[in-house]
Structure 1
Amino acid sequence: MIEAVGLTKTYGSKTAVYNLSFQVRPGMVTGFLGPNGSGKSTTMRMILGLDTPTAGRVTVGGQPFRQLPNAPRRVGALLDAKAVHGGRSARHHLLCLAQLSGIPARRVDEVLGVVGLQEVAGRRSKGFSLGMGQRLGIAAALLGDPEVLLFDEPVNGLDPEGIHWVRHLMRKLASEGRTVFVSSHLMSEMALTADHLIVIGRGQLLADMSVKDFIAGNSTGFAMVRTPDVAADREKLTKALTDAGAQVQQEQDGALRVTGLELPRISDLAHEAAVRLWELSPHQASLEEAYMRLTNGAVDYRSTADPRQGLQQPAGAPAPGGWGMPQQAPWPQPVPQQQPYGYGYGQPQQHPQQPPVQAYAPPVNPYTQPAAPAAPAAPSAPQPTEPVEDAR
């Protein structure tokens, strides 16, 4: 089990984590959520003894990580998949870690098979893709068969099959009684993987509860109601629901989002108003919606609209040239759509409304083209000759 009590970490004038207390229990997958810059990575580094808390304490199995006997065989972690010597092969990288921790060499081939890298075990890791690097990092975390596992963004760079594999791996490890602590930004994946959630914002604890309770406590369920596409029926039903105390919001497709009333009551009101229903279904907010609602005030980095003022050329304006020269388009203009089977016995014909396609001529740079030969001088007009006296 991982336990943090009053955990605080400051860097100069910046407080990354403040008075953070939580427990990560064995036998379940605990998700660790929070916006960028909320202190998740700093917290994981303090758990692993890589950073020293400014105040408070954090223990693994009742002891600080640095005091654990043979810690690599007790705790496995993936914090940075790129922390690998690029010149080593996947097998040599794991062999080095195994020798440092007193782990038998046969375990290296076992974990390579678990993560699916047995076919590329002899390749240098610098040629690995992001997903292959993630698999190698997971293999390193599993090397000592630890009872506590920490993963920071384990599905980053993985394809759908890899994400599915990681999900089932996490749940399998938890079912064996291990403590699994996973940080991720993929809400949909956390909803399928995690049993419990710890959510922080700006270094402080925001939530510590099960996934089900987190969604129920930070979202509002609603009923989706559809009627025949008759405005009068929709207005009649809206009035009946509003008079009964419901909040009704019309969606863009004409459906009604109803909150504040149970489904049987909505059905009774529609029957009393003589309005036929095409749909009456309950909807529960997703983990992403609940997370966004809870952490809305703890987000440090927000996007603004791009005004693009002064960046776009007005219509018909020439593009700015280089060195005072007008610029031409460096690529040919789009070819008009052609008819593959026209009136010319299968010959492609140009669209009759389009102008004929001009052959593309690359732009001419006067500084790189050879000088044109000088034009021949025009013949001069014959000059009149004076008569020569006869010396005789």
Structure 2
Amino acid sequence: MIEAVRLTKRFGARTAVDGLSFQVRPGVVTGFLGPNGSGKSTTMRMIVGLDRPTSGTVTVDGRPFRQTPNAARAVGALLDAKAVHGGRSARSHLLSLAQLSGIPASRVEEVLGVVGLRDVAGKRTRGFSLGMGQRLGIAAALLGDPRVLLFDEPVNGLDPEGIYWVRTLMKRLAAEGRTVLVSSHLMSEMAVTADHLLVIGRGRLLADMSVRAFIARNSADFARVRVADGEPAARERLAALIGGAGGETLPEPDGALRVTGLPLPRVSDLAHEAGVRLWELSPHHASLEEAYMRMTQPMVDHRSTDDELAGFAGEEPGWEPPTVPEVPQRGWYAPKPPAPAAERHGGGTTGAAGAAKATEEGDAR
């Protein structure tokens, strides 16, 4: 297990990591998310003793990394796949690491097979592609058969087959009872790989919860309702009925209505009672990417002047999503998102949309 307590790292006047406290438990894949510059790499470097904390502590199985006997056999890490001498072959690189840690040479051949590099093991690494370098870095992390593993962007440069292989490997390592911490910017991959999430922004902890709980807390699901084509009056009548029942509607570009604030069966009943023919009534479930964008956009430091995601960052400082109901109900849709700051003070700009919603019974933190 990895445990950080008020972990802080400063570089001069800049605070890269600011009072982080968390645990990474064995048996699950923990995703480590955050914008560029949020402190993820610095945190991982402190875990493996490459950077010393300014204050606070971080331990692996109860000990600081520097005090761990034969640390290479206890902790494996892929932090920089390019940290390889280009004149060495993949095999000689791993053999040198094995000799430094007292690991049998036979283990080198094993991990070369695991990562699929046996056919190129004798080639110099300077000729390796980015994906091949990633595989070699993963092989180095696995070399000591450690119980704790850290991977920083392990799928960077891999093709779809390689990404699937890494996903399967992460899950298998966790299923063996190992502690697995994976940093990545690929939200779609984290959604199917990670069981638990740690999300940080500007060095501070933003979330520590399961993937499903994170999505439920930081996004709003909605229903799509589409009336028969050529019946605009029916569409307007249904929108009025939904509003009268306490729901909210927003027009979609394709002519459908986005409905929040009412359960799906209630929307169907309103349409039936009014004699409105529906061509579509479907739920929209938020993705991890949507939830992540909503939480972290205010923490992004470098933003394009033509940024379509700027609206995600419209909340006032200190804003918190509404509390998820203690007893989640299937088909329950979130209320209308809070008005943007400018609207609450008389302006008219559009802020971030979304409010928390519980999607799975019993999965709330």
Fold shared by both chains (TM-score > 0.5): yes
For residues 34-45 of structure 1, what are the structure 2 equivalents within 5 Å?
Answer: 34-45=34-45
Regions of 4+ moved over 4 Å: none
> Equivalents in 1 of 2:240, 2:121: separation in Å?
68
CA apart distance, 1:297: 1.2
Amino acid at match of 1:225: V
> Equivalents in 2 of 1:298, 1:82: separation in Å?
28
* Structure 2 SS opposite 1:225: strand
> Equivalents in 2 of 1:162, 1:69: separation in Å?
33
Q: Which residue of 1 aligns with 2:245?
A: 244
Amino acid at match of 2:130: L
> Equivalents in 1 of 2:37, 2:85: separation in Å?
28
Larger deviation: 56-65 or 225-234?
225-234
**Cα RMSD for the two superposed structures:** 0.8
> Equivalents in 2 of 1:301, 1:30: separation in Å?
26
CA deviation vs aligned residue, 1:322-367 (integer Å, no higher than 9, x gap): xxxxxxxxxxxxxxxxxxxxxxxxxxxxxxxxxxxxxxxxxxxxxx
> Equivalents in 2 of 1:200, 1:301: separation in Å?
16
Q: Which residue of 1 aligns with 2:21?
A: 21
For residues 313-332 of structure 1, what are the structure 2 equivalents within 5 Å?
Answer: none
Q: Which residue of 1 aligns with 2:182?
A: 182
CA deviation vs aligned residue, 1:4-58 (integer Å, no higher than 9, x gap): 0000000111010111000000000000000010000000000000000000000
Amino acid at match of 1:252: P
Q: Which residue of 2 aligns with 1:3?
A: 3
Q: Does 1:261 align with 2:284?
A: no
Q: Which residue of 1 aligns with 2:304?
A: 303
Q: Which residue of 2 aligns with 1:376?
A: none
> Equivalents in 1 of 2:134, 2:256: separation in Å?
44
Larger deviation: 242-251 or 163-172?
242-251
* Structure 2 SS opposite 1:302: coil
Q: Which residue of 2 aligns with 1:342?
A: none
TM-score (norm 1): 0.77
* Structure 2 SS opposite 1:275: coil
> Equivalents in 2 of 1:162, 1:257: separation in Å?
38
> Equivalents in 1 of 2:268, 2:2: separation in Å?
49
CA apart distance, 1:305: 3.3
> Equivalents in 2 of 1:256, 1:95: separation in Å?
62
* Structure 2 SS opposite 1:171: helix
> Equivalents in 2 of 1:161, 1:243: separation in Å?
51
> Equivalents in 2 of 1:117, 1:226: separation in Å?
52
Amino acid at match of 1:297: P
Q: Which residue of 2 aligns with 1:353?
A: none
Q: Which residue of 2 aligns with 1:322?
A: none
Q: Does 1:289 align with 2:290?
A: yes
> Equivalents in 2 of 1:235, 1:272: separation in Å?
15
CA apart distance, 1:255: 1.1
Count of residue pairs brought into register by the alignment: 306
> Equivalents in 1 of 2:257, 2:138: separation in Å?
47
Q: Which residue of 1 aligns with 2:50?
A: 50
TM-score (norm 2): 0.83
CA deviation vs aligned residue, 1:199-235 (integer Å, no higher than 9, x gap): 0000000000000000000011111111111211111
Larger deviation: 234-243 or 3-12?
234-243
* Structure 1 SS opposite 2:198: strand
* Structure 1 SS opposite 2:278: coil
- Describe the shift of the 1:305–1:283 C-alpha distance in structure 2 as closer, same or farther (beyond 3 A): closer
> Equivalents in 1 of 2:153, 2:221: separation in Å?
30
- Describe the shift of the 1:168–1:68 C-alpha distance in structure 2 as closer, same or farther (beyond 3 A): same
Amino acid at match of 2:180: V
Q: Which residue of 1 aligns with 2:236?
A: 235
> Equivalents in 2 of 1:305, 1:252: separation in Å?
21
* Structure 2 SS opposite 1:278: strand
> Equivalents in 2 of 1:305, 1:166: separation in Å?
34
Amino acid at match of 2:232: A
Q: Which residue of 1 aligns with 2:347?
A: none
* Structure 2 SS opposite 1:205: strand
For residues 302-381 of structure 1, what are the structure 2 equivalents within 5 Å?
Answer: 302-305=303-306
CA apart distance, 1:144: 0.5
Amino acid at match of 1:23: Q
* Structure 1 SS opposite 2:265: helix
* Structure 2 SS opposite 1:41: helix
Amino acid at match of 1:280: L
* Structure 1 SS opposite 2:246: coil
Q: Which residue of 2 aligns with 1:272?
A: 273
CA apart distance, 1:256: 1.0
Q: Does 1:119 align with 2:124?
A: no
Q: Which residue of 2 aligns with 1:205?
A: 205
For residues 146-185 of structure 1, what are the structure 2 equivalents within 5 Å?
Answer: 146-185=146-185
CA apart distance, 1:173: 0.2
CA deviation vs aligned residue, 1:280-318 (integer Å, no higher than 9, x gap): 111111001000111121111111139xxxxxxxxxxxx
> Equivalents in 2 of 1:227, 1:26: separation in Å?
50
Q: Which residue of 2 aligns with 1:62?
A: 62
CA apart distance, 1:245: 1.1
